[in-house]
Structure 1
Amino acid sequence: MGRSSRRWLFPLIGLAAAVFFLLARPVGDVAAHANLSRAEPAPNSELPESPERIVLWFSEGIEPDLADIRVLNARGDSVDHDDVTTQGNPVESVSVSLPDLDNGTYTVSWANVSTVDGHRVRGSFLFSVGEAISGEVELPSQPTFSNPQEPYLRWLVLLGSLSVAGGLVLELAVWRVALSVIGGGVSFITVKRRVWWLYLAGILVLGVSSLGQLLSQSGSTFDVSWIDALGEPVCDTLETDWGRSWLWRAGFFLVLSAALITRYVRRNGRSERPDGGNAVKADYAAYAALGASLLLLAPITFVSHAGATPDLAFPAQLSNYLHLLGAALWGGGLIHLGLAVLPALRGVEAGYRREFLAEAIPRFSVVAIVGAALLAVSGLFSAWAQVTTIPSLGVPYGITLIVKTAIIIPLLVLAAINHRWIRHRLARDDNASRWLTRTVIGEVVIALFVLLLAGVMTSMEPARQVAAREGRGLPNGFVGDTISENVVIDIAVEPAKTGRNQVRISLTDRNGTPLTDATDVRVRLSFLEEDLGELPVPLENVGNGVWVLNDAVIALVGVWQIEADITRLSGFDARAAFRFEVLAGAGSNSGAIRPDKDLGRVLLGVEIALIGVVLLAVGVPLGGWYERRGVMFMAPGTAAGAIGAGLIVWVQFFAPVSVYLQTNPFVPDGDSLAKGKVAYEAVCSVCHGEGGKGDGAGSVSLYPPPANLPVHVPLHTQGELFEIIRIGVAGTAMGPVSGLTDDEIWHLINYVRTLEAPGLQ
């Protein structure tokens, strides 16, 4: 391994360690800002008797020591037992016990601190005992920012960290290499001095803003001023998840600062050649500083929205890290190019200046193209993860994202002008260098504003959460219709929220005439995200072909399935099935809009593969596999392409799924049941019999005898049934069923589940 290769080990180790931190950091099902998801009793509920406890569930993990619930009577006196307890790991529910309350209206006041972004959230709601509520409150809207300083502090943290990291890349991969190529004429020490002052400014900005974040976070968490936060509040904050991420950042900051100071003290970056040129020595401290700066970006990612993306925390965090890396390569490099390197060339003789720029700018273009590509592909993933739906663009986060994207357009235009027009004239036209300086300064100004908007966005609640809470794009109740056995079945579930619901089924013929020959109508409600069991529930005939079930209790937010069985005098029984989304009946619906887990993993694979394509596209003009510069891009590009493609294939075909929680991808409608019946008659009926009772012709000599399906099927989840059919049951004649595809097995499961249904046995 050559000396140059050994130097680059430091930043490579930094990158690898950053990814390791992202992988090693434990994550739960979180959502950025711990808002109220549901409560027992529900907000604004009227209870006949006093509850034993108040239980609150939140949309993400919260700090257990900073959670609080108070129950107040109409006079404002606390009436709870002051014994707040927490459940879960991470903690997502909090409860407090109550005495036997007198009749009256009570207020539940709660507060928490998120384990992800450290934001403190408060709220309250009413409930009554033995009488109507004397007033009604809406859950208070959360402020746009947890404190007014947060966007600016986040902006300064981004500015300091990205400028230092980008400046180190620019130095080690661009201008120092250009100086060593062209020889004398451009003073290395002149450029280095200006760059050093910019490093110092970046370190000061990062250090001061990080301390400001700690004081601001402590003050916001404990409702004290920054001055009063010094001492115990700061110590307590450092014991939270947010505080531990801050400590990691502080540690990497100290390593970065030490490496830069070592460089300054030793001054080993320059030695004079006899011809007056510039011979750049191995500067291991610079590469160590670059590695530390890359590591420092990981703790920033920990407390971002990415760390609170439900079911996709690691993919979102990795994408966010790549986004920061791209911003450092392009934006951080621009800052150093525009504020340090180009100003240092003003006193240099025109010929040497043109020679230097002709060598340096093409190298920076390569770095900037890679950075812009990282920003683009990772930005698309992040936007999808935090916005998810088109209506979510109408909330403050979404609007800011649109503005940020629009402002990037002139930045791209200026970059294209530099790359396509100015860059090619630098070697022969001195005016080109002046235009380069102007356009780069313009890019720097726009980049600073884009970073400010990034600080604003990362201080806001994600768009999908706000949109979900406001009901943007969410259904109000569920309505579905289908035709079975020439019966038009209309099903309505209102309000399709947790709590009590009404199920209404209307039966007509194809001409719209009400059908009155139904003797029994039953529904089964099943939660698809967890096995809660299911029982057929009869509906009441209210006449004119309408059947109603009042007070159907739906307990959980998520996807539910409703199946209706209609028994008729004519014998032509009908059946219908639908799936629908259930929202929180009261409180917060912050988790109602969630990015799809499998789609997210596929998109991550696409993102990594696209990055690989960009690296390959950059490497080919640089010589491909035949030149050292080309190999520096071809090797990681090939690896990224392979990893991305492999991830896509793995998710599509090999990703493990919990057998217990597997969900049948097919609704048990008429088409699915018909296919399932064909499969049953082909492979099952010979042993289990026509009705599934284990009395088929082939069952006579079997021991143990075949299972009675109407009895045994309800005892298993659909995922377990799938595995039983696919691999069989040890110790019985039930072996693996061959000749059926996975889809046919799922249709078969839908069919055998009807064997216990009234009228279908």
Structure 2
Amino acid sequence: MKSIICYRVVTCLWIVTILLSYFIFHTFSIVESHANLVQSQPKQNSVLEYSPTDITITFSEPLSPTLSYIEVYNFNGTKLDNDDSSLNSLDKSTLTISVPVLPKGTYTVIWQTVSTIDGHKIRGSFYFSIGEPIQFSKIENYEPLFLYKSEPIIKSFSLLGSLILFGSFFTYFFIITPVLAGKTTINGLASKACLAVLLISYAMATLSSSAQLILHTSSIYEIDLFNTIGSPLINIYTDTTWGKLMWLKLLILLFIPVVLQVSKLISNHHSKSLYYINPVFFIPISLMLLLLHSLSSHNATVSELYYQGVFVDFIHMLFSAIWIGGVLLLTITLYAVKNTVNSIDLNNLTKSLFKQFSPIAILTIIILSITGIFSAWLQVNKIEALSTYYGVTLVIKVCLIAIALLIAGINSFFFIKTRKITSIPGRLLISESILIIAIIFSVGALNGLEPAKNATPFFSNQLTLTEMDNNLQLELQILPANVGINNTQIHLSDSRGGNIVNASNIIIQTTYINQDLGSHTYYAQNIGNGSYTTDPLMLNLGGIWQFEITVQRPDALDSRFAFREAIGGSHPKFTFLDIYIGKLLFGLVILSIGLTFLGISVKQGGWQNDSGKKYFILGLVSIIAGFSISIYTHSMSNDKEFQYINPIVPSSVSIQIGQNLYRDNCVSCHGVTGIGNGNLYNALTPEPNASNLLIHVPLHSDNELFSIIKYGKDGTSMYGQESILSDEEIWHVINYIKTLE
């Protein structure tokens, strides 16, 4: 009767587990990157003629209504809004606040958002003015590197606990138990060692996850730790998907002792060992913890490759757990049994354990490398992104992994290829364990930092740009080259290094590339010795900014320069994360994993061996899936959409190329000056109504111009040039026609 009751309880537990799995996949929204500003009214850095009645900002994600707000301050730091910030009832990603009639002056809009998706708090600001140019503001808006100071440490312990919980259990049942079969005394010691590791990792995961939830809630609501108990912890669950993930993780952790107790009742085992822990129940539950980590990882922020990113991160977590849990448990197990056997038996035991672990270790290292490369591509797909805090931390992590793998290779040779063991488990094995813990802490730091494509540069606080045109050397310096107010200085010289002091007009036009927010124009003043300066540049959004400089001199042709640089880190919408390449890489990842399984299968004896047969089947399935994904993705390559941002900087070279292409292909209709007086104008049918480029080009964004030129415009005499001009040539033409005046 007792056994029947226990099995019914287990059945109920499995039903709960399945429901939790369904809840994980179907309830949570796709995690996107942090809630960043998309557009605002009034626009950033705009100069208005009259006072607005309200300030409206739209962000990239739905927002928490209780934790997101807008505030408006004047030049002296006095708050002037009506304190009625609210979410739009129809669009949960739009915030609005009303303001009284504002006098002339410069105003700072400060906003805070907490995304319902990932629970991160982001602050930002921008400026606008009424009736006068924008001036310096006394309002400072500091955004800390981490949400709270201990964030990377807490996340590291949480991750480490979850990894060891699965990895050590897996290692005991699939590595240690087969080797120690029939060796009751040694197996008992190993079982106690593993149980101690499980208890410590369980306590680590539970306590650190609880601390993470409380500290995160405290930081989001800006309240003391004690005040988080109660409604704030409930609100973080109802307001954010991150909160739901954390609460579910804690519920699963509390669910684990119930599973263990039921397993103990079923086996009717009362000793302090692992015999009563049924892996059929424990492994799926511990895997759920890893899945929850993946669902809130940076890979899950790439919405276009959400499922691919989460899957690869989960595989990476799975094999990280096997590597970490395996190394740590083997180290502790050998320490636990070294005083109970003689040196010869200890030598044979060590060799047997590492021989059993070796194929899995090789498989783990290869798969971690493959999945790590894919994840790195998702987050750092440009070399420039390595200069961010995220990029630097990633480099440190890779170096630590390289050292750990080197030590693992030495361990493998030392314990398997030779029979000489002077110290068990040896300093190298201990060093590898320490390095693994260091790697986990670097991962915790990465999880707390902004992804590289959103983050702040780490090294430089000055941007220096140089270019030569028409025998004129221009050097543009931007300080501090970060979001906010930036000072500029321009130096002009000739090819021999002599200062150019007679520039009659220098115009700088700044354009935020990530979104169509218009451009802002600055005029430089001569400060002597070939140097010029402008009013401070207002670069109030992190992302890619384009700087176009026109230098006019009385004794030379106009010189044009153009630069495109990341300010405060690059925005994911500009990094051109090629979805086609991403899907193709994902297929290659699965294919590579399959080939790795086949390689291990051959090493294990192939189809003739039970172990080799399992690896062979896994490898074959993975290869078929990888080939299918890659072939399907390749077949869809022709369906890629064109880039929405002009990839070619409007330099003097690009403008000259565009001018030549315009002369050969466009002048006959639009005319030399672009006003629509070409030789074929009167013969066009239907009669054109938008042929004056000087009027109509400024009304369209770059991607709209690209579409019109490439595909034409239905119902007009503007026919598509797809068969005449390449995509690159079209972008050159766009750069040229935007200079017509």
Given that residues 32 and 300 in structure 2 are in contact (C-alpha distance below 8 angstroms), is that contact kept between their aligned partners in structure 1? no
Partner of 1:247: 247
Kept in 2: contact 1:68–1:112 (CA 8 A) = yes
Whether the 8 Å CA contact 2:77–2:139 is kept in 1: the answer is no
Q: Is the Cα–Cα contact under 8 Å of residues 454 and 572 in structure 2 kept in the other structure?
A: yes
1:216 aligns with 2:208: no
Secondary structure at 1:146 match in 2: coil
In the TM superposition, what is the alpha-carbon distance from 1:613 to its structure 2 partner? Answer: 3.7
Cα pair 2:31 2:118 within 8 Å, conserved: no
Query: CA separation in 2, counterparts of 1:312 and 1:168?
Result: 32
Task: Check whether the contact 1:62–1:113 (CA below 8 A) recurs between aligned residues.
Answer: yes
Q: How does 1:531-570 map to 2 (within 5 A)?
A: 531-532=516-517, 558-561=543-546
CA-to-aligned-CA distance 1:121-155 (integer Å, 9 cap, x gap): 7899999999999995654563766154x455433
Q: What corresponds to 1:448 in structure 2?
A: 437
Q: Does 1:666 pair with 2:648?
A: yes
The offset of 1:235, in angstroms, is 1.7
Relative CO higher for 1 or 2, CA cutoff 8 Å, sep ≥ 6? 1
Instruction: Label 1:40 to 1:313 Cα distance change in 2 as closer, same or farther (>3 A).
Output: farther
Which residue does the alignment assign to 1:286? 279
**What pairs up with 1:187-206 in 2 under 5 angstroms?**
191-192=190-191, 194-206=193-205
* Alignment partners' CA distance in 2, 1:703 and 1:125: 47
What's the secondary structure of 1:64's corresponding residue?
coil
Match of 2:460 among 450, 460, 473: 473
Superposition pairs for residues 626-641 of structure 1, below 5 Å?
626=607, 627-632=612-617, 634-635=619-620, 638=623
CA change 1:153–1:716 in 2 (3 A) is closer
Q: Quick check: 2:30–2:300 contact (8 Å CA) kept in 1?
A: no
Aligned mates of 2:618, 2:201 — CA distance in 1? 29
2:601 counterpart SS class: coil
What's the offset of the Cα at 1:162? Answer: 0.7
- 1:328 CA drift (Å): 0.2
Q: How does 1:435-584 map to 2 (within 5 A)?
A: 435-436=424-425, 439-455=428-444, 458-459=447-448, 467-468=456-457, 472-473=459-460, 475-476=462-463, 480-483=467-470, 488=472, 490=474, 527-532=512-517, 558-561=543-546, 574=558, 576-581=560-565, 583=567
Q: 1:158 to 1:268 in 2, by over 3 A?
A: farther
Find 1:142's aligned residue among 141, 144, 156.
Answer: 144
> C-alpha separation between the residues in 2 aligned to 1:697 and 1:467?
53
Of 22, 27, 49, 2:31 maps to 27
Trace 1:673-752 onto structure 2 (pairs within 5 A): 673-680=655-662, 682-685=664-667, 702-706=684-688, 708-710=691-693, 711-732=695-716, 734-737=718-721, 738-752=723-737
**CA deviation after TM superposition for structure 1 residue 708, in Å:** 1.9
1:212-250: CA deviations, max 9, x gaps? 333333444445555543322322232232311112323
1:265 aligned partner: 265
Whole-angstrom CA distance in 2 between matches of 1:133 and 1:536: 14
Q: Counterpart amino acid of 1:672?
A: S
Give per-residue Cα distances to partners, 1:33-70, cap 9 Å, x unaligned. x9999999999x99999986678899987633123567
CA spacing shift, 1:404–1:671, aligned 2, 3 Å: closer
SS in 2 for 1:622: helix
With normalisation by structure 1, the TM-score equals 0.70
- Contact 2:147 2:219 (C-alpha < 8 Å) held by counterparts: no
- Structure 2 Cα separation of the partners of residues 410 and 543 of structure 1: 54
- Are the equivalent residues in 2 in contact too, given 1:81–1:97 (CA < 8 A)? yes
Listed as ranges, the gaps of 5+ residues in structure 1 are 1-9, 270-279, 584-588
| 1:267 counterpart letter in structure 2 | S
Of 170-179 and 397-406, deviating more is: 397-406
User: Deviation at 1:335?
Assistant: 2.6
Q: Aligned residues: percent identity?
A: 25
SS in 1 for 2:654: helix
Contact 1:619 1:630 in 2 (8 A): yes
For residue 161 of structure 1, report the CA deviation from its aligned partner.
Answer: 1.1
1:166 aligns with 167
State the match for 1:598 in structure 2: 577
Structure 1 residue 163 displacement after superposition: 1.3
Shift of 1:166: 1.0
CA displacement, residues 532-563 of structure 1 (integer Å, 9 cap, x when unaligned): 56799999999999999879987765445566
One-letter amino acid of the counterpart of residue 228, structure 2: A
Return the match for 2:361 from 368, 391, 409.
Answer: 368
Partner of 1:229: 228
Aligned pairs, number = 708
Letter in 2 for 1:146: Y
Moved more, 730-739 or 412-421: 730-739
Q: How does 1:324-343 map to 2 (within 5 A)?
A: 324-340=317-333, 343=336
Match of residue 595 from structure 2: 616
**Which amino acid is 2:86 matched to?**
T
Q: Do the aligned partners of residues 267 and 641 (structure 1) sit closer, same or farther apart at CA in structure 2, a change above 3 Å counting?
A: same
TM-score, L = length of structure 2: 0.71
Query: Map of 1:168-187 to 2, 5 A cutoff?
Result: 168-178=169-179
**SS class of match (2:687):** coil
CA distance in 1, matches of 2:49, 2:682: 58
Q: 5+ unaligned residues in a row in structure 2: which ranges? A: 1-13
Superposition CA RMSD, Å = 6.2
Q: 2:641: which partner in 1? A: 656
SS of 1:336's equivalent in the other structure is: helix
Instruction: Give the match's secondary structure for 1:665.
Output: coil
Q: Structure 1 stretch 215-224 or stretch 456-465: which is displaced more?
A: 456-465
Against the structure 1 CA distance between its residues 35 and 230, is the aligned structure 2 distance closer, same or farther, given a 3 Å change threshold? farther
Residue of 402, 409, 418 corresponding to 1:416: 409
Deviation at 1:83, TM superposition (A): 1.7
Q: Secondary structure at the match of 2:206?
A: helix
> Are the aligned partners of 1:577 and 1:667 in contact in 2 as well (CA < 8 Å)?
no
Q: Which amino acid aligns with 2:329?
A: H
Structure 2 CA distance for partners of 1:417 and 1:220, relative to 1, 3 Å? same
Secondary structure of the residue aligned to 1:435 is coil
Question: Aligned pair in 2 of structure 1 residues 595, 251: CA closer, same or farther (>3 Å)?
Answer: farther
Task: Quote the residue 2:86 is aligned against.
Answer: 85
Whether the 8 Å contact between 2:466 and 2:473 is mirrored in structure 1 is no
Matched residue, 1:157: 158
**Using a 3 Å threshold, how does the CA distance of structure 1 residues 402 and 509 change in structure 2: closer, same or farther?**
closer
User: What displacement does 1:628 show?
Assistant: 1.0
Shift of residue 663, structure 1, vs aligned partner = 2.4
In the alignment, is the contact (CA less than 8 A) between 2:669 and 2:679 conserved in 1? yes
Q: Is 2:452–2:569's contact at 8 Å kept on the other side of the alignment?
A: no
